[in-house]
Amino acid sequence: MNVETIGNWAGLVWVALNEQGKLGVKALKKATKLKEKEIYAAIGWLAREGKVSLEDGESDVFVTLV
Domains of the chain: 3-65 (1.10.10.10)
8 pLDDT higher than 90:
yes
Task: Count Cβ neighbours within 10 Å for each residue of 15-43 and write b for 16 or more, e otherwise.
Answer: ebbeeeeebebebbbebbebeeebbbbbb
Give the pLDDT score at 1.
78
Length of the chain: 66
Considering the entire predicted model, what is its pTM? 0.94
The one-letter code for the residue type at 46 is: L
Express each pLDDT in 23-56 by its tens digit: 999 999 999 999 999 999 999 999 999 999 999 9
